[in-house]
Protein backbone atom coordinates (compact mmCIF):
# COMPACT_ATOMS: atom_id res chain seq x y z
CA UNK A 1 0.00 0.00 0.00
CA UNK A 2 1.36 3.38 -1.00
CA UNK A 3 0.56 5.14 2.26
CA UNK A 4 2.20 2.37 4.26
CA UNK A 5 5.35 2.73 2.16
CA UNK A 6 5.45 6.48 2.81
CA UNK A 7 5.20 5.86 6.53
CA UNK A 8 7.98 3.26 6.35
CA UNK A 9 10.15 6.05 4.90
CA UNK A 10 9.18 8.32 7.82
CA UNK A 11 7.08 10.55 5.55
CA UNK A 12 3.72 11.85 6.77
CA UNK A 13 1.60 13.05 3.86
CA UNK A 14 -0.72 15.33 5.91
CA UNK A 15 -3.17 15.92 3.05
CA UNK A 16 -4.80 12.62 2.07
CA UNK A 17 -8.08 13.51 0.36
CA UNK A 18 -9.98 12.61 -2.84
CA UNK A 19 -8.25 15.36 -4.84
CA UNK A 20 -4.86 13.85 -4.04
CA UNK A 21 -5.75 10.25 -4.89
CA UNK A 22 -5.64 9.67 -8.64
CA UNK A 23 -6.89 6.46 -10.23
CA UNK A 24 -5.15 5.17 -13.35
CA UNK A 25 -6.96 3.57 -16.27
CA UNK A 26 -5.97 0.20 -14.82
CA UNK A 27 -7.57 0.94 -11.45
CA UNK A 28 -4.38 1.69 -9.54
CA UNK A 29 -4.59 4.47 -6.96
CA UNK A 30 -1.68 6.94 -6.95
CA UNK A 31 -0.98 9.28 -4.05
CA UNK A 32 -0.33 12.78 -5.36
CA UNK A 33 0.54 16.26 -4.07
CA UNK A 34 3.28 16.07 -1.46
CA UNK A 35 3.35 19.81 -0.85
CA UNK A 36 2.18 19.61 2.76
CA UNK A 37 4.60 16.78 3.52
CA UNK A 38 7.46 18.66 1.86
CA UNK A 39 6.73 21.89 3.70
CA UNK A 40 6.44 20.16 7.05
CA UNK A 41 9.66 18.21 6.53
CA UNK A 42 11.56 21.37 5.64
CA UNK A 43 10.37 23.06 8.84
CA UNK A 44 11.14 20.03 10.99
CA UNK A 45 14.61 19.76 9.47
CA UNK A 46 15.29 23.36 10.46
CA UNK A 47 14.80 22.42 14.16
CA UNK A 48 13.33 25.87 14.64
CA UNK A 49 10.06 24.93 16.30
CA UNK A 50 9.24 28.54 17.04
CA UNK A 51 8.64 29.15 13.34
CA UNK A 52 5.99 26.43 13.15
CA UNK A 53 3.06 28.79 13.52
CA UNK A 54 -0.28 29.06 11.79
CA UNK A 55 0.63 32.46 10.42
CA UNK A 56 1.66 33.13 6.84
CA UNK A 57 4.44 35.67 6.41
CA UNK A 58 6.40 34.29 3.49
CA UNK A 59 8.31 31.18 2.43
CA UNK A 60 10.26 31.01 5.70
CA UNK A 61 7.10 30.64 7.77
CA UNK A 62 4.77 27.67 8.11
CA UNK A 63 1.76 27.75 5.77
CA UNK A 64 -1.61 28.56 7.25
CA UNK A 65 -2.84 24.97 6.98
CA UNK A 66 -0.95 21.75 6.29
CA UNK A 67 -3.97 19.82 5.05
CA UNK A 68 -7.69 20.34 4.56
CA UNK A 69 -10.25 20.83 7.30
CA UNK A 70 -12.78 18.55 5.56
CA UNK A 71 -10.58 15.52 6.24
CA UNK A 72 -8.12 16.66 8.90
CA UNK A 73 -8.06 15.26 12.46
CA UNK A 74 -8.37 17.74 15.29
CA UNK A 75 -4.85 17.12 16.59
CA UNK A 76 -3.35 18.12 13.24
CA UNK A 77 -5.49 21.26 13.04
CA UNK A 78 -4.38 22.31 16.52
CA UNK A 79 -0.70 21.55 16.00
CA UNK A 80 0.56 21.07 12.40
CA UNK A 81 3.84 19.43 13.42
CA UNK A 82 2.00 16.91 15.62
CA UNK A 83 0.71 15.00 12.58
CA UNK A 84 1.74 11.35 12.51
CA UNK A 85 0.71 7.99 11.05
CA UNK A 86 -2.60 8.11 12.93
CA UNK A 87 -3.34 11.53 11.44
CA UNK A 88 -2.85 10.26 7.89
CA UNK A 89 -5.11 7.30 8.66
CA UNK A 90 -7.79 9.68 9.92
CA UNK A 91 -7.56 11.64 6.65
CA UNK A 92 -7.83 8.37 4.74
CA UNK A 93 -10.83 7.38 6.84
CA UNK A 94 -12.49 10.73 6.13
CA UNK A 95 -11.87 10.12 2.44
CA UNK A 96 -13.42 6.66 2.69
CA UNK A 97 -16.42 8.17 4.49
CA UNK A 98 -16.79 10.69 1.66
CA UNK A 99 -16.65 7.90 -0.94
CA UNK A 100 -19.31 5.86 0.86
CA UNK A 101 -21.73 8.68 1.70
CA UNK A 102 -21.13 11.37 -0.90
CA UNK A 103 -20.21 13.99 1.69
CA UNK A 104 -17.39 14.76 4.10
CA UNK A 105 -17.80 13.72 7.76
CA UNK A 106 -18.67 17.23 8.93
CA UNK A 107 -19.89 19.50 6.11
CA UNK A 108 -19.52 23.17 7.03
CA UNK A 109 -18.26 26.35 5.34
CA UNK A 110 -16.73 27.39 8.68
CA UNK A 111 -13.31 25.77 9.28
CA UNK A 112 -13.45 26.53 13.02
CA UNK A 113 -16.73 24.64 13.35
CA UNK A 114 -15.26 21.78 11.37
CA UNK A 115 -12.26 21.50 13.68
CA UNK A 116 -14.57 21.46 16.72
CA UNK A 117 -16.77 18.80 15.13
CA UNK A 118 -13.76 16.64 14.27
CA UNK A 119 -12.68 16.96 17.91
CA UNK A 120 -16.01 16.43 19.66
CA UNK A 121 -18.73 14.98 17.42
CA UNK A 122 -19.40 11.66 15.73
CA UNK A 123 -20.22 11.75 12.01
CA UNK A 124 -23.61 10.50 10.84
CA UNK A 125 -23.77 6.70 10.51
CA UNK A 126 -23.10 5.27 7.07
CA UNK A 127 -26.54 3.66 7.11
CA UNK A 128 -28.12 7.12 7.08
CA UNK A 129 -26.95 7.29 3.47
CA UNK A 130 -27.16 3.65 2.34
CA UNK A 131 -29.03 0.92 4.21
CA UNK A 132 -27.09 -1.94 2.66
CA UNK A 133 -23.73 -0.95 4.16
CA UNK A 134 -22.43 -3.80 6.37
CA UNK A 135 -22.19 -3.15 10.10
CA UNK A 136 -18.58 -4.35 9.99
CA UNK A 137 -17.72 -1.55 7.57
CA UNK A 138 -19.29 0.98 9.93
CA UNK A 139 -17.09 -0.37 12.72
CA UNK A 140 -13.97 0.02 10.57
CA UNK A 141 -14.84 3.61 9.68
CA UNK A 142 -15.66 4.45 13.30
CA UNK A 143 -12.30 3.08 14.45
CA UNK A 144 -10.21 4.90 11.85
CA UNK A 145 -12.08 8.13 12.71
CA UNK A 146 -11.59 7.74 16.46
CA UNK A 147 -10.98 11.02 18.29
CA UNK A 148 -8.01 9.60 20.20
CA UNK A 149 -5.16 8.80 17.77
CA UNK A 150 -4.19 5.79 19.92
CA UNK A 151 -7.62 4.25 19.28
CA UNK A 152 -7.14 4.18 15.51
CA UNK A 153 -5.42 1.47 13.51
CA UNK A 154 -1.72 1.12 14.17
CA UNK A 155 -0.70 1.25 10.51
CA UNK A 156 -1.98 1.65 6.98
CA UNK A 157 -1.29 -2.05 6.41
CA UNK A 158 -3.53 -3.04 9.31
CA UNK A 159 -6.28 -0.74 8.09
CA UNK A 160 -6.06 -2.15 4.56
CA UNK A 161 -6.02 -5.73 5.84
CA UNK A 162 -9.16 -5.30 7.94
CA UNK A 163 -10.90 -3.43 5.14
CA UNK A 164 -10.06 -6.10 2.56
CA UNK A 165 -11.84 -8.71 4.69
CA UNK A 166 -15.06 -6.74 4.29
CA UNK A 167 -14.62 -5.31 0.81
CA UNK A 168 -12.49 -7.68 -1.31
CA UNK A 169 -10.00 -5.77 -3.46
CA UNK A 170 -10.75 -5.55 -7.16
CA UNK A 171 -8.85 -7.87 -9.46
CA UNK A 172 -6.58 -5.66 -11.53
CA UNK A 173 -5.63 -6.63 -15.07
CA UNK A 174 -2.10 -7.87 -15.61
CA UNK A 175 0.00 -5.30 -17.41
CA UNK A 176 2.08 -6.58 -20.29
CA UNK A 177 5.77 -5.65 -20.01
CA UNK A 178 7.20 -3.43 -22.71
CA UNK A 179 8.94 -5.43 -25.42
CA UNK A 180 12.75 -5.19 -25.74
CA UNK A 181 12.34 -4.08 -29.38
CA UNK A 182 10.20 -1.13 -28.31
CA UNK A 183 12.63 -0.14 -25.56
CA UNK A 184 15.55 -0.33 -28.01
CA UNK A 185 13.64 1.82 -30.50
CA UNK A 186 12.77 4.32 -27.75
CA UNK A 187 16.40 4.54 -26.67
CA UNK A 188 17.69 5.00 -30.21
CA UNK A 189 15.04 7.63 -30.94
CA UNK A 190 16.01 9.57 -27.83
CA UNK A 191 19.66 9.46 -28.85
CA UNK A 192 18.86 11.05 -32.20
CA UNK A 193 17.33 14.07 -30.53
CA UNK A 194 14.17 15.93 -31.44
CA UNK A 195 13.23 15.58 -35.12
CA UNK A 196 13.03 18.69 -37.26
CA UNK A 197 9.68 20.39 -36.87
CA UNK A 198 7.63 21.21 -39.96
CA UNK A 199 7.88 24.71 -41.30
CA UNK A 200 5.30 27.07 -39.87
CA UNK A 201 2.87 28.34 -42.47
CA UNK A 202 2.31 32.09 -42.31
CA UNK A 203 -1.23 32.99 -43.36
CA UNK A 204 -2.03 36.44 -44.79
CA UNK A 205 -3.58 38.98 -42.37
CA UNK A 206 -6.92 38.94 -44.21
CA UNK A 207 -7.26 35.19 -43.72
CA UNK A 208 -6.36 35.41 -40.01
CA UNK A 209 -8.96 38.15 -39.52
CA UNK A 210 -11.61 36.03 -41.25
CA UNK A 211 -10.71 32.95 -39.18
CA UNK A 212 -10.94 34.99 -35.99
CA UNK A 213 -14.40 36.23 -37.02
CA UNK A 214 -15.63 32.70 -37.76
CA UNK A 215 -14.40 31.42 -34.39
CA UNK A 216 -16.58 34.00 -32.59
CA UNK A 217 -19.78 33.22 -34.48
CA UNK A 218 -22.20 31.20 -32.34
Separation between Cα atoms, residue 153 and residue 140, nearest integer Å: 9
Q: How far is CA 115 from CA 31, 71, 92, 102, 106, in A?
A: 24, 10, 16, 20, 9
Question: Among residues 91, 44, 36, which one has the least CA distance to residue 66?
Answer: 36
For the question of residue 25 being annotated catalytic, the response is yes
Whether 67 and 36 have beta carbons less than 8 Å apart is answered as yes
Separation between Cα atoms, residue 164 and residue 159, nearest integer Å: 9
Identify the DSSP state of 196. P
Marked catalytic residue, from 25, 165, 174, 176 = 25
Catalytic residues: 25
Amino acid sequence: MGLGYLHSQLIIHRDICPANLWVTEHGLVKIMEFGAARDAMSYLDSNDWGRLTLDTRGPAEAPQVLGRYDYMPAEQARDPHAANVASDLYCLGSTLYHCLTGQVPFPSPDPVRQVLKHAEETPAPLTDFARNIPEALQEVVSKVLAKNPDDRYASAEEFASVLSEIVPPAVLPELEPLSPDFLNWLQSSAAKGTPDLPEVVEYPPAFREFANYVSQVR
